[in-house]
Chains A and B, each alone.
Chain A
């Protein structure tokens, strides 16, 4: 049984079974991020004027993948280095894999300090940590043409702004997932078309949303469409008035919420027991509930949704670059993409993984949205760290630390 997981802008736990429950709990609250603003400030500036370059932008990239060094040291989310695909990798390449599991994006960033310290080769960083690693010079560009599967990736994951700067790829995208609207089909005969159901008094005491400051972005995304006067263009870049309006909406929502969930298993049991009928969720919960014959379905409402995306990034001081390239090649193959998608409960970046997913578990490709048209993926706003120095050029956005404080007062 897969039970406990939590995820946040950064802090995510991805345990796969109940025996890891204790660990999951300790790392429980999901979430995230430390805003190293100076670095992301540079990032924003770089995007805005194209003038600033990451420290390692000029680092030479490999032109071919040589013989493996015999070992590979990873920093990864738990569940990303399952024996199921690590063993055949070692057998095929001779690279013995050592994995350090990280509990949060902050932990990943600190483990990767000083270019991985000459110890680590790769990190499976999430979108919110990527720019911090890039602008700190802890990761360096990779030669994307050495990753054959890359050309089969969903186009929006090939060179996303969170891991590709100035045409240089600081790693290869891996897998991703949307934050969807989960609803009981007993209560809703047709799929809700708007996130407004989460703010509707009609469902008072039957609503559940994640206990995670990044949830503010979900509300901001909703307001960006329903209250154009506020002028929200990016849910992660909010000026103080925009931020205040979003927090006010969430405070209104508070009395309607039954439970702010910290673990996926909590939301699953809330829907199983019928305590809640609508909430924000991941496809993982939907699929688990549907497999349990609970009358639920998920949708991405008209306002769109937020989501997460992970990247395998190459440490600046990677001691085993050949094995690292072999790993990036291996992890992006359709077979492994499909295996990870099913084992972990997320969506593969490689488009060719879909038929293999269905072969491994019937209907799983559709369940995890791997076969959706590109318009579906365009509707997902991927997590990134809220920074004071946002793209509007005025440096007047609300930084993540304030998001955390505001979240405490919302659910307080």
Chain B
């Protein structure tokens, strides 16, 4: 045993004893190592979420604007009155459309990257996919304003091509385009990971057994890529669900998202309880979404 070594260590006798004790008790070592990050997680993350949940049941006095700590469901009732259902529906709808769009674009792209491209081309494509993430989110959204606005790059190009000027600036279509662009890398990367892991032998077996390309894709590749699509969709869906800057910058006159209403309730109205209630909506939607994803087997390969 190391007791002799410990005795010889005169300069740090106490320290040595502590380290010996820790060495003997693995559980203590684990506890001490994990406590700070766990405590941080519990206090900062879980506690703040719980606090939000609790706040959602409080109200603000309309006259003094002071938080009233009496339990009420008023905020939840308000959630079901106009215009909030429309806003929630609009947000979820956009998140769903963006997710589908990204999945459709990302699938062939990621397939090419993972299974067709040479290693050199693959590196290039990877860089191309990730490069936009280096630029600020804001800069990219602003770039799209320049492209989509009246007399912008898009309408200039289409009118030169004889298609007539296309003006989709400040509309929900503009939001769809910008969201799909911004979150695309978050779909491509997990999808690439899933496609890359498909063993060649499976595709060969499928071919040997007489399946043509389309059938192999439908019955072999797609099911194996599904966990990747779902992982990517969690990103694209939840990121769209929580965003408020893109609606604000490229959206039109009816572009309020859940995030925008939360923002105005915190910043403008100082109605924290209602903001908290609204903030629970995306969380609830994501929980349902994740449960659905689990039912589809998205987490089995984790």
Contacts and interface: CB of A to CB of B under 8 A. Distances in A.
B12 interface: no
Given A36-B65, A401-B271, A412 B264 contact: no
Interface in A176-230: 213
B268 A31 contact: yes
Given A22-B136, A259-B170, A404 B271 contact: yes
Interface string B254-285: 10100011011101111100000000000000
Contacts of A254: 253-254
A175 B89 CA distance: 44
A410 B151 CA distance: 29
Nearest to B248: A262
Interface string A33-68: 111111001000000000000000000000000000
A275 interface: yes
A401 B253 contact: no
A8 B256 contact: no
A347 B153 CA distance: 37
Interface centre among A27, A34, A402 (most CB of B within 10 A): A34
B79 interface: no
B199 to A, nearest CB: 45
Interface in A348-362: none
Contact of B269 (A27, A274, A404, A412): A404
B170 A275 contact: yes
Nearest to B253: A257
Interface stretch (B56-64, B179-187, B216-224): B56-64
B249 interface: yes
B233 to A, nearest CB: 27
A262 B267 CA distance: 13
A408 B270 contact: no
Interface string B227-254: 0000000000000000001001101111
Contact of A275 (B149, B254, B264, B268): B149
A405 B65 contact: no
Nearest to A400: B269
B149 A412 contact: no
Contact of A411 (B64, B151, B256): B256
Interface residues of B, number: 38
A25 interface: yes
A401 B270 CA distance: 8
Nearest to B145: A269
B91 to A, nearest CB: 12
B83 interface: yes
A15 B252 CA distance: 24
A11 interface: yes
Nearest to A35: B65
A374 B249 CA distance: 38
B86 A399 contact: no
A408 B256 contact: yes
B268 A404 contact: yes
Contact of A29 (B65, B151, B251, B263): B263
Interface in B131-157: 136, 138, 145, 149-152
A28 B60 CA distance: 23
A72 interface: no
B267 A273 contact: no
Nearest to A36: B65
A409 B260 CA distance: 12
Contacts of B267: 11, 27, 29, 31-32, 104
B35 interface: no
Nearest to B256: A412
Contacts of B4: none
B268 A273 contact: no
Interface in A5-23: 8, 11, 21-22
Given A38-B64, A273-B150, A273-B169, A409 B264 contact: no
Interface in B39-80: 60, 62-65
B82 interface: yes
A156 to B, nearest CB: 28
A84 B256 CA distance: 40
Given A262-B248, A404-B271, A409 B83 contact: yes
Given A259-B170, A275-B170, A412-B256, A401 B264 contact: no
A411 B253 contact: yes
Nearest to B90: A412
A34 B83 CA distance: 22
Which 7 pairs, one residue from A and one from B, show the smallest C-beta to C-beta distance? A412-B83, A404-B269, A34-B270, A37-B63, A31-B268, A257-B253, A275-B150
Interface of A: 8, 11, 21-22, 25, 27-38, 41, 104, 106, 213, 254-255, 257-260, 262, 266, 269-270, 273-275, 388, 399-402, 404-405, 407-409, 411-412
8 contacts: A22-B138, A29-B267, A213-B269, A399-B62, A401-B271, A407-B264, A412-B87, A412-B256
